[in-house]
Copies of this chain bind each other. A is one copy, B any other.
Amino acid sequence: MARHFSLSGFPEWLPEQRLVEQHVLTTLQRTFELHGFSGIETRAVEPVSQLLSKGETSKEIYLLSRLQAEAGGDDAELGLHFDLTVPLARYVVENAGRLLFPFKRYQIQKVWRGERPQDGRFREFVQADVDVVGQDTLSQHHDMELPLVMVDALGRLPIPRVVVRASNRKVAQGLYEAVGIADVDGALRAIDKLDKIGEKAVAEMLIAGGATEQQAEQALALARIQGSDGSIADRVLALGARSDLLDEGLHELVALIEGANALMPGAITADLKIARGLDYYTGTVYESTMIGHEDLGSVCSGGRYDSLATDGKKTYPGVGLSIGVSRVLARVLGAPLVEVSRSVPTAVLVAVLDEDHRAQSDRIAMSLRDRGIPTEVSPSAAKFGKQIRYADRRGIPYVWFPGDPDSVKDIRSGDQTDADAGEWMPPADDLHPTVRTVS
């Protein structure tokens, strides 16, 4: 099902592919709601000043202009949002008096990044975010809750298993400061490139940034630590550096890893090389890889941000993760890793005897739909063989023949039985298209 998109970077799916996307989006939505998260949408645009104030993706914004804008008009300069976190921060501050805190929200929307066309990256894609935002304070246990919501959600999708890996900025920052690395942000950015460019190149970056060889080695030693229990703290402390910040970060990270694995064994691993490029994270950070598809990079990422949103008087600390739905979906559809039982929602095609009797078929269809059965009426009153072929090409499992009595044919088995449109029901599995993983 892999395909080329007519406008580079702007994916579009065929109807049967969109069925898979809808299945994914509905599953995510239902899971987020099962965890008590409220759905919101924010407008697609933000003032450019707002977009430019946050993070590194500010270079890849699409600006908007009105074709008929008057010179010197009063339009604020607007751009398309490039993530759903910056809009959330703005929405929370703007509506603080009308929201209840901690505010748990999910948001599934398209975002846009003005990538260079030749880079082959998506320029329009769907993200699915969950965040919880507090007013002034936000308990640490949410740092465990949020990735577990995502593990639950991802586990319900027809995709390979996803493992969430976590680290904590305070650990890296605490250690860097304790060993004397001056440019902490620069060091985090260098470590963030570890999977892409390797240890040697990262060490060179660190040294070019002012670190000594020994400091670079200490940063790399920290980045090598992975594990699923409290022993990671011992290994970090064995590097020999101590600071209050480092201790605080380790305490948070161990509580997260041990708590999460007690509830859902194997769900979350500590991985100290995770840094995350966006500079608004202040504590826990998350990345996730789909097993067997590590080349995709992180499919679900996020972190804790204690000061992203503020109205000057109050601050709104939050923690959340974001699934790159389009990235996952492109792989799932491209391989393909899934198949869908039919290409249309229709369960029953009602045949038409001749155009003078179309209304009879319309009434049968209305009766079936009244009981929740997706039904089409044949668009032509051609020979029955041709009407059956219409159903067959779309994977519609049943064809209904008006008569006295009516009859319904399962065109897969050929079985045909008398039926009453006010009573007949297809088996539950045939009612809607189903999505299955390809084994």
| 0/1 string, A320-363, CB within 8 A of B gives 1 | 00000000000000000000000111100000000100110011
Interface residue A201 (Cβ < 8 Å from any Cβ of B): no
Pick the contact of A41: B12, B62, B65, B376 (CB < 8 A). Answer: B12
Known: A33-B432, A142-B379. 8 other contacts (CB 8 A): A12-B42, A37-B345, A43-B124, A60-B68, A66-B114, A68-B114, A141-B379, A263-B366
A75: chain B residues at CB < 8 Å are 117
Is residue A273 contacting chain B, with contact meaning CB distance below 8 A?
A: no
Which residues of A from 66 to 122 have beta carbons under 8 Å from B?
66-70, 73-76, 78-80, 91, 94-95, 98-100, 102, 104-105, 110, 112, 114, 116-118
A61 at the A/B interface (Cβ < 8 Å)? Answer: yes
- A65 and B80 CA atoms in complex are apart in Å by 10
Task: Name the interface residues of A1-56: CB closer than 8 Å to any CB of B.
Answer: 6-7, 10-15, 18-19, 21-22, 33-45, 47-48
Does A291 sit at the interface, judged by CB under 8 A? no
Q: Produce 1/0 per residue, A122-157, CB < 8 A to B.
A: 001000000000000001011001000000100000
Specify which of B37, B43, B76, B152 is in contact with A12 (CB 8 Å cutoff).
Answer: B43
Q: Are A36 and B376 in contact (CB under 8 A)?
A: yes
Docked complex Cα distance between A47 and B117 (Å): 14
Q: CB-nearest residue of chain B relative to A5?
A: B43
Complex alpha-carbon distance, A91 and B100, angstroms: 43
Docked Cα-Cα span, A68 to B95, in Å, equals 32
Q: Is A41 a contact of B68 with CB atoms below 8 Å?
A: no
B contact residues around A372 at 8 Å (CB): 34
Q: Does more than half of chain A's interface fall in helix, strand or loop, or is it mixed?
A: mixed
Q: Is A369 an interface residue (CB 8 A)?
A: yes
Nearest Cβ on chain B to A137's Cβ, whole angstroms: 10
Query: Can you report 8 residue pairs joining A to B where beta carbons are below 8 Å apart?
Result: A12-B91, A19-B38, A36-B346, A36-B374, A62-B64, A67-B114, A100-B343, A263-B366
Q: Shortest beta-carbon distance, A172 to chain B, in Å?
A: 27
Are A65 and B65 in contact, with the CB atoms below 8 A?
A: yes
| In the complex, A298 has a CB within 8 A of chain B | no
Chain B residue with minimal CB distance to A113? B66
A344's closest neighbor in chain B, by CB?
A: B38
Contact B15 A45 (CB under 8 A): no
Considering the chains assembled together, what is the distance between the CA atoms of A95 and B22 in angstroms? 20
A301 in the interface (beta carbon within 8 A): no
Indicate if the CB atoms of A10 and B43 lie closer than 8 Å. yes
Query: Given A38-B18, A259-B359, A343-B38, A63–B59 Cβ distance below 8 Å?
Result: no
Chain B residues whose C-beta falls within 8 Å of the C-beta of A314 in the assembled complex:
none
**Interface 0/1 of A425-437, CB less than 8 Å to B:** 0000000100000
Question: Which residues does chain B contribute within 8 Å of A79, judged by CB atoms?
Answer: 67
Number of interface residues of A (CB under 8 A): 93
Beta-carbon contact of A69 and B114 below 8 Å: yes
Q: Is A394 an interface residue (CB 8 A)?
A: yes
Given A7-B45, A68-B59, A100–B345 Cβ distance below 8 Å?
A: no
- Give the number of copies in the complex: 2
- Smallest CB gap from A62: residue in B: B64
Q: Does A375 have its Cβ within 8 Å of any Cβ on chain B?
A: yes
A80: chain B residues at CB < 8 Å are: 64
Interface residues of A in 363-384 (CB under 8 A from B): 363, 366, 369, 372-377, 379-380
Q: A359 contacts B64, CB within 8 Å?
A: no
Tell me if B39 and A22 are in contact (CB < 8 A): yes
Interface residues of A in 233-272 (CB under 8 A from B): 259, 262-263
CB <8 Å contact, B344 and A36? yes
Q: A38-B345, A359-B259, A376-B104 are in contact. Are A63 and B74 (CB under 8 A)?
A: no
* A108 CB → nearest B CB, Å: 11
Contacts of A13 in B (CB 8 A): 40-41
Docked-complex contact A44 and B100, CB < 8 angstroms: no
Decide if A63 touches B64 in the complex (CB within 8 Å).
yes
Cα A362 to Cα B141 in complex, Å, equals: 11
A393 in the interface (beta carbon within 8 A):
yes
Closest B residue, CB atoms, query A76: B7
Contacts of A375 in B (CB 8 A): 34-36
